[in-house]
Structure 1
Amino acid sequence: MQHLRVAWALAGAAVCFFLIVFIQAHFFREGQLVAGTCEIVTLDRDSTQPRRTIARQTARCACRKGQIAGTTRASPACVDAQIVRNRQWCEMMPCLDDEGCDLLVNRTGWTCAQPSGRVKTTTVS
């Protein structure tokens, strides 16, 4: 009788162990982003036009409530959703520290002007 109870206890412990492993594998999958972070999924560059490079990038973000995918310091980041809704792009500090940010006239993006005079234009689609 004592051996039967021990066997049932061990069987129950084994089932619990496998359930915990299954739940952890399901909810904490490898590749899942930490809340508030982003990663670049694709990056394509086109340099066929003289003096101009067109770059397109796609990012994947896991933003917290009230945040949305944006750009900070020339990298994908989670930013306040109001910035994107109001198209106040420069408020998310998209340019590097030594660059100046200006909104495009139609508010479809922004420009980052470097001290050397080079200008990077970013449009949002």
Structure 2
Amino acid sequence: MQLYRLLLPLSAAGVCWFLLCALHGHGIRQGHLWTGSCEIVTLEHYGSRPRRNIARQTARCACIEGQTAGTIRGRPACVRAEIVLSRQWCEMSPCLDDEGCDLLVNQSGWTCTQPGGRVKTTTVS
């Protein structure tokens, strides 16, 4: 009888875990995003000029109210909408930890400068 009392809650917990995993996998397969998450939809690379690589990426985000799609530490993420509206891109911490962030003169994007001097420029369209 004691074994039955122990196995019943464990088997119920196992069934719940299985259902949660199945629902999570189903949501991702159907293309749904969890609130606050982003995914890269397209990623294209161009090598048209020497020493210059151009990459274009499109992301899709499911942000909460007051947030919009942005970039944190080089990855798509939900950021405060005021950052995008005011075009103060460096406030969303788009560069990696060891990089410095600077706004472009016309505020159309930002640059991330690595310690070795390499510069990555990002423009927003």
Matched, 1:89 2:89: yes
Quote the offset at 1:31 in angstroms.
1.9
Deviation at 1:37?
A: 0.6
What is residue 69 of structure 1 aligned with on the other side?
A: 69
Q: By percentage of residues, which structure has more strand? A: 2
C-alpha separation between the residues in 1 aligned to 2:31 and 2:109?
A: 30
1 CA distance for matches of 2:124 and 2:48?
22
Instruction: Give, as a single letter, the amino acid of the residue that structure 2 aligns with 1:113.
Output: T
Equivalent residue, structure 1, for 2:19: none
2:6 aligned partner: none
1:59 aligned residue: 59
CA deviation digits over 1:52-88, x for unaligned, max 9? 0000000010000000000000000000000000000
**Deviating 4+ runs (over 3 angstroms):** none
For the residues of structure 2 that align with 1:106 and 1:49, how far apart are their CA atoms?
24
The RMSD of aligned alpha carbons is 1.3
Task: Name the residue aligned to 2:44.
Answer: 44
Partner of 1:98: 98
Once the two structures are superposed, the pairs formed by residues 15-54 of structure 1 within 5 Å of their partners are: 30-54=30-54
User: Rg: which structure is higher?
Assistant: 1
**Residue segments in structure 1 that go unaligned for 5+ positions in a row:** 1-23
Q: Percent identity?
A: 71
Letter in 2 for 1:67: Q
Three-state SS of the structure 1 residue aligned to 2:102 is strand
Q: Distance in 2 between matches of 1:47 and 1:56?
A: 12
The number of residues matched between the two structures is: 99
Cα distance in 1, alignment partners of residues 80 and 70 from structure 2: 9
> Equivalents in 1 of 2:95, 2:48: separation in Å?
25
Unaligned ranges ≥5, structure 2 = 1-22
